Copies of this chain bind each other. A is one copy, B any other.
Amino acid sequence: MPTYIEGSGLPADVYSAKCPTREILDHIAGKWTVLIIDALADGTMRYTDLRHRIDGISQKMLTQTLRQLESDGFVTRTVHPTIPPRVDYTLTELGHSLRTPIAALREWIETNINRIEAARRAAAL
Contact = CB atoms under 8 A, between A and B. Distances in A.
Given A35-B14, A72-B123, A106-B14, A113 B20 contact: yes
A55 B20 contact: no
Given A72-B116, A94-B116, A53 B15 contact: yes
B72 A20 contact: no
A3 B107 CA distance: 10
Nearest to A71: B123
Contact of A21 (B24, B113, B123, B124): B113
A82 interface: no
Given A21-B109, A26-B31, A124-B71, A117 B6 contact: yes
